[in-house]
């Protein structure tokens, strides 16, 4: 009994002595950041004031398969944390037995069998003492894995929202393209009928008529291609929204008839970017998990102690099972001390250390990538807005030029080829303008994604 007390005293002394390295976040050479007062809302896309867009985003969040997979991975990580937590507590089990045994009781008479009964009911308790914080480090590692998975899920969610918005307005731009081409085509068809009448009357050469007809068919082909692109974009967006194959074939995607008039609030390089980005948080939690895994691996070198105990009843007669004479009890302590592992434990420790070095590099790479993405997004937003302004001005001038060219043609100062060229220039500018509208929104969305898009890191209790 005295020896048992000594062992327990030693065990208690080493409980909580972790062998994991002290965690220190890697240093990063960061640029000077502005103190950004912009608070990004969880529903920041509502700033576009587009009810149809809001429905699209909500549908994507509810049905997207990638997000469902991420949620499943998070649930698995949460279950792993529950298992690691449960390992720190005792295990209690109840067992019962009722058996009859037949045996030869007389060695001289082997043909005679004598039966005997045994009945037992007992409860067993086992508990591993958390020496060297092996179980605690395992729990901390599992917790960091869960937080990393939650941050990864949020990163996927943010990418999904951004992808849905960009796809939505890209689809709207393609819809505008088809509309603009169709409007231009209707005017060209009316002009072609008029030119045919002029050619029959001898007021127009066959060369000019052929050029008008060629231009008309080219526009028709352009419209077919625009409709094909629009349908392909709509089908791809249906997959992004998680729609069923039947819905992809039968349901259409409702979109608004205009691009947003306003823009999302502007933002600069925030000072708390490392806290805003879910992918950075995920990388840091992965690093923490690998750090704690080193402690769990190192603990394999040292002894482990398990406490066991059981109490119950055992009797040859069922009716006597709960008598005082049938009571049984047992208590014990088990020690496991590795002697020769032939490099197994060392390999586990080396693997854990290598995993931590990889996690450090991944974290630092993720931080550098994040600041690069913010810088690119800021530049893209500025250039997209400037390009949109220039293309709007270009379209206004080309529309005016087409009107003047038609007037000059009607007055006899220009030939009809000039009208065709002016129409072609205007249509090309309109298509570029539609793409620029979508690009301007995509640039704003990209900046909000780069800033973390309203992510609020989970806090480990």
Q: Tens digits of per-residue pLDDT, 236-261?
A: 998 888 888 888 777 788 888 888 87
Question: Which of 16-20, 28-32, 311-315, 372-376 is predicted most confidently?
Answer: 372-376
Task: State the Cα–Cα distance between residues 326 and 420, nearest whole angstrom.
Answer: 108
Residues 199-218, mean pLDDT to the nearest whole number: 87
Identify whether 51 is part of a domain: yes
Q: Name the one residue in this structure whose structure tokens are 């005016």.
A: 400
Q: Is residue 368 part of a domain?
A: yes
- Percentage helix, strand, coil for the chain under 3-state DSSP, each rounded to 5: 65, 10, 25
User: What whole-number distance in Å separates Cα of residue 452 and Cα of residue 282?
Assistant: 12
pLDDT for the residue numbered 224: 96
- What is the structure's pLDDT at 217? 94
pLDDT averaged over every residue in the chain: 84
Tens digits of per-residue pLDDT, 390-422? 999 999 999 999 999 999 988 888 888 899 999
* Domain annotation covers residue 201: yes
Asked if 50 contacts 169 with a C-beta cutoff of 8 angstroms, the reply is no
CA atoms of 241 and 222, how far apart (whole Å): 29
Task: Look up residue 419 and give its two tokens.
Answer: 């009208």
**How far apart (Å, rounded) are the C-alpha atoms in residues 27 and 23?**
12
Domain membership flag for residue 136:
no
What is the DSSP annotation of 28-75?
Answer: --PPP-B-------TTGGGGG--HHHHHHHHHHHHH-HHHHHHHHHHH
Where residue 364 sits, what CATH number does that domain have?
1.20.1600.10
316 pLDDT more than 70: yes
Share of the chain above pLDDT 70, in %: 91
How much is the average pLDDT of 328-344?
A: 79
Query: Mind listing the pLDDT tens digit for each residue in 105-114?
Result: 666 666 667 6
Stretch among 2-16, 83-97, 130-144, 224-238 having the lowest mean pLDDT: 2-16
Angstrom distance (rounded) from CA 349 to CA 294: 6
- pLDDT by residue (tens digit) across 8-19? 555 454 455 677
| Distances 406 to 150, 416, 422 between C-alpha atoms, Å | 62, 8, 9
- Would you state the structure tokens that stand for residue 24, as one six-digit string? 């220190």
pLDDT at 1 over 50: no
| Contact status, residue 269 vs residue 36, Cβ threshold 8 Å | yes
Distances (CA, A) of 27 to 33, 79, 147, 279, 403: 16, 32, 21, 17, 63
Residue 334 in domain: no
- Per the domain annotation, does 119 fall within a domain? no
CB 381 within 8 A of CB 443: yes
Residue 242 in any domain: the answer is yes
Residue 154, domain extent? 18-93+147-302+347-450
* The predicted structure's pLDDT at residue 68: 86
Decide if 72 is inside a domain: yes
- Work out how many domains the chain is built from and give that number: 1
Segment among 147-151, 168-172, 323-327, 371-375 with least mean pLDDT: 323-327
Q: Which residue has the higher pLDDT, 150 or 459?
A: 150
């Amino acid at each position: 009994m005295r020896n048992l007390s000594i062992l327990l005293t030693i065990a208690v002394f080493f409980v909580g002595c972790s062998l994991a390295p002290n965690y220190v976040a890697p240093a990063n050479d960061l640029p000077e950041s502005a103190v950004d007062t912009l608070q990004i809302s969880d529903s920041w896309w509502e700033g576009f004031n587009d009810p149809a867009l809001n429905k699209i985003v909500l549908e994507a969040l509810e049905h997207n398969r990638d997000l469902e997979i991420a949620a499943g991975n998070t649930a698995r990580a949460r279950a792993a944390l529950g298992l690691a937590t449960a390992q720190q507590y005792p295990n209690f089990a109840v067992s019962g037995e009722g058996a009859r045994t037949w045996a030869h009781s007389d060695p001289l008479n082997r043909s005679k069998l004598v039966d005997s009964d045994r009945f037992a009911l007992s409860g067993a308790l086992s508990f591993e003492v958390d020496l060297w914080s092996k179980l605690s480090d395992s729990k901390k590692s599992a917790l960091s894995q869960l937080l990393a998975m939650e941050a990864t899920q949020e990163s996927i969610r943010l990418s999904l929202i951004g992808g849905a918005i960009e796809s939505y307005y890209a689809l709207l731009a393609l819809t505008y393209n088809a509309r603009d081409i169709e409007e231009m085509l209707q005017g060209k068809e009316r002009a072609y009928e008029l030119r045919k009448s002029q050619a029959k009357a001898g007021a127009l050469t066959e060369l000019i008529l052929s050029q008008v007809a060629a231009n008309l068919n080219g526009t028709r082909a352009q419209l077919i291609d625009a409709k094909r692109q629009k349908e392909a974009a709509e089908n791809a967006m249906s997959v992004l929204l998680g729609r069923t194959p039947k819905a992809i074939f039968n349901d259409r995607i409702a979109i608004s008839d205009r691009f947003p008039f306003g823009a999302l609030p502007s933002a600069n390089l925030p000072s708390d970017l490392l806290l805003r980005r879910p992918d950075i948080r995920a990388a840091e939690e992965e690093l923490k998990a690998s750090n704690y895994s080193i402690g769990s691996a190192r603990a394999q070198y040292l002894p482990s102690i398990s406490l066991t105990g059981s109490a119950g009843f055992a009797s040859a007669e069922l009716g006597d099972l709960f008598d005082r004479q049938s009571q049984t009890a047992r208590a014990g302590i088990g020690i496991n001390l590795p002697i020769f592992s032939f490099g197994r434990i060392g390999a586990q420790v080396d693997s854990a250390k290598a995993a931590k070095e990889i996690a450090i590099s991944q974290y630092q790479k993720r931080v550098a990538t994040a600041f690069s993405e913010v810088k690119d997004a800021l530049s893209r937003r500025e250039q997209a807005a400037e390009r949109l302004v220039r293309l709007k001005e270009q379209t206004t001038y080309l529309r005016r030029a087409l009107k003047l060219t038609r007037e000059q043609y009607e007055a006899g100062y220009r030939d009809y080829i000039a009208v065709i060229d002016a129409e072609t220039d205007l249509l090309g500018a309109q298509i570029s303008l539609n793409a620029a509208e979508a690009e301007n929104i995509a640039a704003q969305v990209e900046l909000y994604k780069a800033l973390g898009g309203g992510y609020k890191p989970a806090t480990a209790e």
